[in-house]
Amino acid sequence: MLPEWITKPVGDAPSTHWPKPLDPFPNPEAETVEDRRPTPYQRDRGFDIQARSEEGRGLGRAGVIHTAHGDIKTPAFIPVGTKADVKGLVPEQIAGTGAQAVLANAYHLYLQPGSGIVDEAGGFGSFMHWPGPTFTDSGGFQVLSMGAGFKKVLTAEFAGGDMSSSGASAHSGVDAGPVAPELVKRQREAVKLSKAVVDEDGVVFSSHIDGSKHRFNPEISISIQHQLGADIMFAFDELTSLSHPRSYQLESLDRTEAWARRCLIEHRAQTETRTHRPYQQLWGVVQGADYQDLRIRAARTLGEMEEDGQMFDGFGIGGALRKDRLGEIVSWATAELPENKGRHLLGISEPFDLFVAVEAGIDTFDCVNPSRVARNAAIYTPTGRFNLTNARFARDFSPLVEGCGCYTCQNFTKAYVRHLFKAKEILASTLATIHNEWFTVRLVDAIREALIEGNLSEFREEMLGNFYGRSLNVEPNGS
């Protein structure tokens, strides 16, 4: 029997009753600041806790993040619209999955079409016709991965590969034991690569589009994100890999904390200048790799950091970390962060990781994976993942998931969507993405409900047992 969370409609989702958006083009010639400012209709910041979980690590909570463009009930999954679009979907289709917000990338929108153009459009939400809450990341990950050559290493790490310098478990203070010669070489290469592009002011990088040189620093990143107009944006930080030795992680953390202060100062200045826009929240980013003392230090420092009355409105847990110790490492930070502010974990969407992160105190997530694998015909189901291009689906006239409430499953069959993939039709990616985003969004919604109802452990055991216990894909080469 199909679980209820994937079948029921989205009728009560926050995205179905967002308030009317603020006027993106207030009168710039008004006589007073107050006349220029759009009339607020919505709390533009803050986080309210509605329920707590005593299960697992005892850090899980359900709540509401307030933004200028609507509330976000948490825990929540935030689909990624990298270039101000969730690939293949129009905004109404995104809302149809139950998604409460979307996240875009500062690096990509800065390079194309330019943050100034997005600003003229009223921010990326108006630009892409999305009326609900929005996030932007600082561009730090893309600057270092795409613009500075870290991509291969970071791809392996964020996919769960063991890239730690010692090969041992996460540790609290010092490097564990002797380091093998090949790992010493990798450490030296990582540090050399970092020092070639990172200095105390910021990062120099090359555009992946045309190779032109650019610089991001705290002031530039915050200025760009203010132009992009997201309700929630993130401080500019240095991204390290697990290949970097502890000595460099310490150096980088010092730099990231200095940058965080500069972000707060620039954020206050931009907020005071741009009074024609609603308030944009700035969230700090907790780094520290897989070192307990560094994560705790970063969380405490950012949680208490204040510059001229400006503090962080929430926090992101950033950087590469060991996937097999995800809950432990995340909990080091969340146990130290202020309770009354939201917490976001960047780049997570697999079912196991979602449960672990919620139990460790995370409120929101973003990840490209549901849409990325959809474009390769990989389909999520409550009993695992399968590849729709398999020949056995050529005459399968059942939905992708029987009883699923998403638009694709309500209207199309495996045979039809498979045909679209084999014929290389664009619609194939659209229909598969609708389903995968629905699956992920609705799963996190169900985690929220289970947490509120006090049966998170039971739901976790049932859902993960079904998902990882068996799969529709019987081929040995995976999904």
**Structure token digits, residue 386:** 């399968």
The per-residue pLDDT for range 102-143, each reduced to its tens digit, is 999 999 999 999 999 999 999 999 999 999 999 999 987 777
pLDDT of residue 5: 81
Catalytic entry in 119, 363, 366, 445: 366
User: What kind of architecture, by CATH, is found in domain 48-367?
Assistant: Alpha-Beta Barrel (3.20)
Q: Classify residue 378 by its DSSP letter.
A: E
pLDDT of residue 94: 96
Active site includes 137? yes
pLDDT confidence of 194, banded at 50, 70, 90? confident
By residue count, the chain amounts to 479
Residue type at position 6:
I
Catalytic entry in 71, 119, 137, 313: 137
Residues 457, 347, 296, 266: is their CA dihedral positive or negative?
negative
pLDDT for residue 21 is more than 60: no
User: Checking DSSP bridges between strand 76-79 and strand 281-286, what pairing results, if any?
Assistant: unpaired
pLDDT for residue 97 is more than 80: yes
Active site includes 366? yes
Q: How far is CA 107 from CA 117, 157, 208, 264, in A?
A: 14, 21, 10, 20
The per-residue pLDDT for range 275-304, each reduced to its tens digit, is 989 999 999 999 999 999 999 999 999 999
Domain boundaries, the chain: 48-367, 378-469
Burial of 67 (0-12, 13-18, 19+ CB in 10 A): buried
The per-residue pLDDT for range 365-406, each reduced to its tens digit, is 999 999 999 999 999 999 999 999 999 999 999 999 999 999
Residues 217, 219, 223, 228: is their CA dihedral positive or negative?
positive
pTM: 0.88
